[in-house]
Amino acid sequence: MERDASGAGVARGGLFSTAEIKILICYILNAINEPVPVDMLANVLHYEGIANAFEVSDAIVSLSARGQIAATDVLEQTYVITDSGRETAETLKSSLSSVVKERAYLAVMKMFAKFKNAKDNIFEITKENGATYLSCSAIDGGKPFITVKLLITDEEQAGFIRERFLENPAKIYSKIIEMLTQ
């Protein structure tokens, strides 16, 4: 295919064709079949060296304008695939290398898990008596069922802890509950 997309930040074996980027987006949205935050999608594909983030964003705008994907939440910038996009994904998925599809799918699934975890957990930084605390709460049915409060040094550390926490909050909570009930 012709190289018509920017190659900035794209690793060897990545996508340089706008058409291939569009097919990959349809393929991913079809495989996940849930609303996906497109800014995160663009970032993760760029971070993995699969496609240029700006090209992914442009492809998303084009796919939306053509009715192949549709916005579900303007605030969160989440999109889903339409029937037209699903047809594109199924018809043209073989035009993409299996390595690119697998790498992209795994990276997006990891990103998507973090996105969903962020919606199911609340993080709050508070200051008490000159100390800074980070509270991490798991939400179930709209109410916190467990909260962990940590003494932290600063907001940078809070951000680091938040990111690590979002990688697998269920594991953290289950370990705490296991330790408390043994």
Measured distance CA(182)–CA(173) in Å, rounded: 14
Give residue-wise pLDDT tens across range 31-54: 988 898 888 888 889 988 999 889
DSSP category for residue 82: -
Max mean pLDDT among 59-63, 94-98, 136-140 falls in 59-63
Question: Are residues 67 and 93 part of one domain?
Answer: yes
Angle at 174 between CA 146 and CA 117, to 5 degrees: 65
Domain count, the chain: 2
Residue 6 lies in a domain: no
Residue 175 lies in a domain: yes
Question: Are residues 99 and 129 part of one domain?
Answer: no
When pLDDT is cut at 50, 70 and 90, the band that residue 110 belongs to is: confident
When pLDDT is cut at 50, 70 and 90, the band that residue 7 belongs to is: low
CATH number, domain with residue 37: 1.10.10
Compute the average pLDDT of residues 9-28.
85
120: three-class secondary structure by DSSP: coil
Structure tokens at 33: 């079949």
pTM of the model: 0.69
Domain that holds residue 150: 120-181
